[in-house]
């Protein structure tokens, strides 16, 4: 009730009456409360993750700001930031469906909570990424204890309906004692550490070091330089012969890109392809590679009748599969040159096939239907999933260099190589052994019944002029 009273006096002197009013304001109060509740809920929702109920990125950053402030005021206080990214979470979504994926995230959030103290913060930063601020005793020893607990917690399977599923996380860590001034810098460094952890085995953790910052700056510089490299014609293709092992007859060439940086000299594709993939530059670069490689093959085929069946192998990047006109692009290139479709072989690494499996399978089937050849590159380094062999329409399987390297010393590697060769035969696929460097390896592979190979033992990647010389000499066998 809202009570009010009013005095009634005569000419401002004698009080004659008091008027009291009472008003029922329950309705207004209810509305006021409702608005207040809603605002509070909105405010809460805005800063929490719906699925897990954990703080979201926004609240995480606010908490980080307050920890940073505290560390600046109090010299004895330090804190640690951990960023966790689940390994191959997409695979769970793909295999079990998104609802199960959500269920897994909820269970992981529950497990992670157990190891934290009341002052610590656990947040879901988005997707399959979690952030932790250890606000009590943020020293290295304690941090590593927590990391160990987290790793142990992932050793137990998660129950998703009737399935027991294993998961793991890579962790990037940064400790506040590096005199940070801005929250953005802390997150940048934890991310850099996470990126490093991701390049190692699954379930790895990395603590940020200053050099990582320099590496990140270097990558940025590389990206800058890459953008100009196409216009400045700093790229060149090299061609490594692929030979029939019994006769050393050249059956084709693999095109391998090289970049001559104006200041840094030759840079390996292993260093710049990942940067080009990150920035999207890989698309124009790959178009250039395809065009250049196919043009070169056509030139060589015109030079000699012995080389009409010569094949050019071009490496495809996983990023090219998200380009919606990839098939048309390849088709146009081949048709414009009047090139035989069977003479183009596209190499795809096994690790590409893990992500967007369905889409990639569709595109590969289209390319195959158009007559192009397909090769699975670096077999044995990824999942080596046997299901890939019958799921995807590959003609060729390339055994990764690491097997060939150790084959003559390790019986395990030898047996594995033998198994891969048999397996490929059973699936009606050709086999190419990569990285043959010695006569011993060459002979052993022949014994195992491997039909094709490439490697420094036969030839390093050659310039176009060197290949031309081999062809003009009319010698389609490599003399070693
Ligand atoms: P890859 O496709 O597996 O290529 C084979 C790599 O092994 C090449 O390295 C080649 O030079 C090297 N190699 C060949 N024989 C031997 C040997 O006997 N011993 C040793 N130690 N190495 C040997 P490269 O040219 O540095 O290329 C590395 C990777 O970069 C390639 O692996 C491929 O994944 C990628 N790459 C190269 N060129 C291209 C390209 O044009 N496009 C795309 N998307 N990726 C490319
Ligand atoms: Mg390759
Ligand atoms: Mg390879």
- The residue whose CA has the least distance to atom 15 of ligand 1 is 455
Of all residues in the chain, the percent with pLDDT exceeding 70 is 97
Whether residue 120 has pLDDT greater than 90: yes
Contacts of 314 (CB under 8 A, 6+ apart): 255, 289, 290, 293, 294, 344, 345, 346, 347
| Averaged pLDDT, 228-233 | 86
- The DSSP code sequence of 307-370 is GTT-EEEEEPPGGGGGSTTHHHHHHHHHHHTT--GGGEEEEEEGGGGGTTHHHHHHHHHHHHHT
Kindly report which listed range (307-321, 382-396, 402-416) carries the lowest average pLDDT score.
Answer: 382-396
Q: 281 is written with which tokens? A: 């530059």
pLDDT of residue 263: 87
For 155-180, the pLDDT digits (tens) are 899 998 888 888 999 999 998 866 78
Ligand located closest to 346 CA: 2
pLDDT at residue 384, rounded to an integer? 65
Mean pLDDT of 100-126: 94
Q: Which residues pair with 201 in a beta bridge?
A: none
At residue 19, φ and ψ (nearest 5 deg) are -100, 120
> Domain 57-208 falls in which CATH fold?
Alpha-Beta Plaits (3.30.70)
**Does residue 315 contact residue 350 with C-beta atoms inside 8 Å?**
no
Residue 99: pLDDT band with limits 50, 70, 90: very high
What is the CA(378)–ligand 2 centre distance, in A?
7
Starting from the CA of residue 347, give the closest ligand.
2
Q: How far is the CA of 352 from the centre of ligand 1 (A)?
A: 16
- What's the whole-number mean pLDDT along residues 265-279? 89
pLDDT at position 383 is: 66
Nearest-atom number in ligand 1 for the CA of 349 is: 34
Ligand 1, atom 20, lies closest to the CA of 435
CA 115 vs CA 75, 125, 253: distances in Å: 25, 18, 55
Atom of ligand 1 at shortest range from CA of 437: 18
Residue whose CA lies nearest to ligand 1 atom number 33: 315
Checking 147-151 for CB contacts under 8 A at 24+ apart, the result is 147/82, 147/171, 147/173, 147/205, 149/115, 150/84, 150/112, 150/115, 151/203, 151/205
CA distances 418 to 245, 430, 433, 447, Å, are 15, 14, 11, 10
Ligand 1 mutation pick, 275, 284, 315, max ligand atoms within 8 A of CB: 315
* Residue 259 CA, ligand 1 centroid: distance in Å: 13
Residue 133 binned pLDDT confidence (cut-offs 50, 70, 90): very high
Judged on CB neighbours under 10 Å (0-12, 13-18, 19+), 34 is exposed
Q: 267 CA to middle of ligand 1, Å? A: 12
Residues within 6 Å of ligand 1 by CB: 240, 255-257, 268-270, 273, 286, 289, 315, 317, 347, 377-378, 401, 434-437, 454-456, 461
Among 235, 256, 275, name the best residue to mutate to test ligand 1's pocket (greatest count of ligand atoms within 8 A of Cβ). 256
Tokens of 444: 């052993």
Check if the beta carbon of residue 463 is closer than 8 Å to that of residue 238. yes
Whole-number percent of the chain with pLDDT over 90: 61
Centre of ligand 3 from the C-alpha of residue 351, in Å: 11
Average pLDDT over residues 402-417: 92
Average pLDDT for the chain = 90
Q: pLDDT class for 215, splitting at 50, 70, 90?
A: confident
CA of 452 to the centre of ligand 2 (A): 14
Residue 18 tokens, joined: 């008091």
Stretch 81-103: mean pLDDT, rounded?
90
Longest Cα pair distance anywhere in the chain, in angstroms? 130
Looking at the CA of 259, name the nearest ligand.
1
More confident of the two residues 398 and 475: 398
pLDDT confidence of residue 188: 92
Question: What average pLDDT does this structure show over 72-95?
Answer: 89
Closest ligand 1 atom to 347 CA: 2
Q: How many residues would you count in the chain?
A: 480
Tell me how many degrees the CA angle 219-133-203 measures, rounded to the nearest 5: 60
Tell me which fold the domain 225-472 belongs to. TIM Barrel (3.20.20)
Can you give the pLDDT at residue 387?
Answer: 77
Q: Is the per-residue pLDDT at 476 higher than 70?
A: no
Q: Of all residues in the chain, what percent are helix, strand and coil, respectively (each to 5)?
A: 50, 25, 25
Q: In the chain, what are the domain boundaries?
A: 2-46, 57-208, 225-472
User: Ranked by mean pLDDT, which of 8-17, 108-117, 223-232, 446-455 comes out on top?
Assistant: 446-455
What atom in ligand 1 is closest to the CA of residue 270? 30
């Amino acid at each position: 009730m809202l009570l009010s009273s009013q005095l009634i006096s005569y000419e401002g002197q004698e009080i004659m009456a008091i008027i009291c009013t009472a008003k029922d304001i329950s309705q207004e109060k209810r509305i006021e409360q409702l608005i207040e509740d809603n605002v509070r809920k909105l405010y809460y929702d805005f800063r929490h993750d719906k699925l897990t109920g954990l703080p979201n990125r926004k609240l995480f950053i606010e908490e980080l700001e307050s920890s940073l402030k505290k560390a600046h005021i109090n010299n004895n206080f330090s804190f640690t930031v951990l960023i966790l990214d689940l390994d191959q979470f997409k695979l769970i979504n793909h295999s079990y469906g998104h609802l199960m994926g959500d269920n897994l995230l909820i269970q992981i959030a529950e497990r992670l909570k157990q190891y934290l103290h009341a002052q610590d913060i656990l947040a879901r930063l988005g997707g399959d990424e979690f952030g932790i601020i250890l606000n009590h005793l943020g020293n290295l020893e304690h941090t590593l204890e927590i990391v160990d607990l987290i790793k142990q917690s992932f050793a137990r399977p998660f129950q998703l309906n009737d399935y027991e599923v294993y998961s793991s996380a890579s962790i990037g860590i940064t400790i506040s004692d590096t005199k940070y001034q801005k929250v953005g810098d802390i997150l940048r460094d934890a991310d850099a550490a996470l990126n490093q952890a991701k390049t190692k085995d699954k379930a790895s953790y990395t603590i940020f070091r200053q050099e990582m910052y320099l590496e990140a700056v270097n990558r940025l510089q590389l990206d800058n330089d890459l953008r100009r490299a196409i216009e400045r014609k700093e790229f060149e293709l090299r061609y490594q012969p692929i030979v029939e092992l019994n006769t050393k007859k050249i059956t084709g060439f693999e095109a391998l890109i090289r970049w001559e940086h104006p200041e840094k000299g030759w840079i390996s594709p292993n260093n710049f392809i990942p940067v080009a993939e990150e920035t999207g530059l890989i698309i124009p670069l790959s178009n250039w590679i395809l065009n250049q490689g196919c043009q070169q093959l056509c030139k060589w085929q015109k030079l000699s009748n012995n080389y009409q069946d010569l094949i050019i192998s071009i490496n495809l990047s996983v990023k090219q599969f998200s380009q919606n006109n990839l098939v048309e692009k390849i088709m146009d290139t081949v048709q414009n040159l009047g090139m035989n479709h069977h003479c183009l072989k596209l190499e795809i690494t096994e690790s590409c096939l893990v992500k967007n499996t369905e889409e990639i399978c569709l595109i590969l089937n289209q390319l195959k239907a158009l007559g192009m050849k397909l090769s699975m590159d670096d077999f044995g380094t990824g999942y080596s999933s046997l299901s890939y062999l019958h799921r995807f329409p590959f003609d060729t399987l390339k055994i990764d260099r690491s097997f060939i390297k150790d084959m003559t010393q390790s019986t395990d590697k030898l047996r594995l190589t033998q198994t891969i060769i048999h397996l490929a035969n059973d699936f009606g696929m050709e086999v190419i052994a990569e990285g043959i460097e010695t006569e011993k390896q060459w002979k052993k592979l022949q014994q195992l019944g491997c039909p094709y190979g490439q490697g420094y033992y036969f030839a390093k990647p050659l310039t176009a002029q060197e290949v031309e010389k081999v062809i003009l000499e009319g010698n389609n066998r490599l003399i070693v």
